Structure 1
């Protein structure tokens, strides 16, 4: 990846709506070059997808939480697959430390979060009884951007 590729990535990390013309202008290259390089970065798997970042509060999701789960070691993959199928769950990861899996989940409020946990998570075969829930309070930084 060269400096032009990195420049394109920096611009689209700021705002994915930035058009080829504007990117080309900022990087002093032709719009057709921007188009070609973005296609190349997609084909390489560097860019996985373009998506909108929604304001969760304005969408009515007032509760965001991390849940740490311990699982039967033989069922970690199947539990993770089941968890990943729920729309409310934004991220499912295996983890080192106190828990086998960490998940990030959004809910309308804390009551809906607990209902979801009791109805959908506790009932999964392989999930052990002990788990930790940490609800987000104030978010000081949230980004998917990385240093390019």
Structure 2
């Protein structure tokens, strides 16, 4: 598939069905999917490969439960940078913090919005005081502690 055709790839109903099935169970055998969708395993393979080449499927990964690993505190931190030009260096420093599991460059009040996971409130305080706030590019932060995550889903193809 050429670069242009990869960008132009449009998914159809079969592709959507395959994506939904793989999002539910990324280890589902192609033969099982083929039987479910009344096509050949080769068709499933070709469709998956085309969606990979088009960048629709970026890979597979194991989803872990942070609470089962002892990460009981989830919070979101809005970061205001001293200057917009500080973004690349601030992001590089944030990426080095193992507690930062997601980061977003945003519009609005905050320049960067991050998700942080820690094992305790005490650990969160240590991260804030000794690792996050000392970053030179950061002017100020606001921390929001998550009490629960009632919705957790992927986009629908």
**Could you tell me which residue of structure 2 aligns to residue 25 of structure 1?**
35
Quote the offset at 1:88 in angstroms: 2.0
Asked if 1:147 is matched to 2:156, the reply is: yes
Tell me whether 1:56 sits opposite 2:102 in the alignment. no
Judging changes above 3 Å, is the alpha-carbon distance between structure 1 residues 19 and 86 closer, same or farther for their aligned structure 2 residues? farther
Residue 23 of structure 2 corresponds to residue 2 of structure 1:
no
Structural mapping, 1:1-148, within 5 Å: 1-72=11-82, 73-128=84-139, 130-143=140-153, 145-148=154-157
Partners of 2:111 and 2:40 in 1: CA distance: 48
Tell which structure's C-alpha radius of gyration is larger.
2
Secondary structure at the counterpart of residue 60 of structure 2? coil
2:3 — aligned with what?
none
Per-residue deviation, 1:6: 1.2
Name the SS of the counterpart of 2:69 in structure 1: coil
TM-score with structure 1 length normalisation? 0.91
Root-mean-square deviation (CA, aligned residues, Å) is 1.3
CA shift at 1:119, angstroms?
2.0
How many pairs were matched up? 146
Show structure 1 runs of 4+ deviating over 6 A. Answer: none
Higher helix share: 2
TM-score of the two chains, using structure 2 as the length reference: 0.86
Structure 2 gap ranges (5+): 1-10
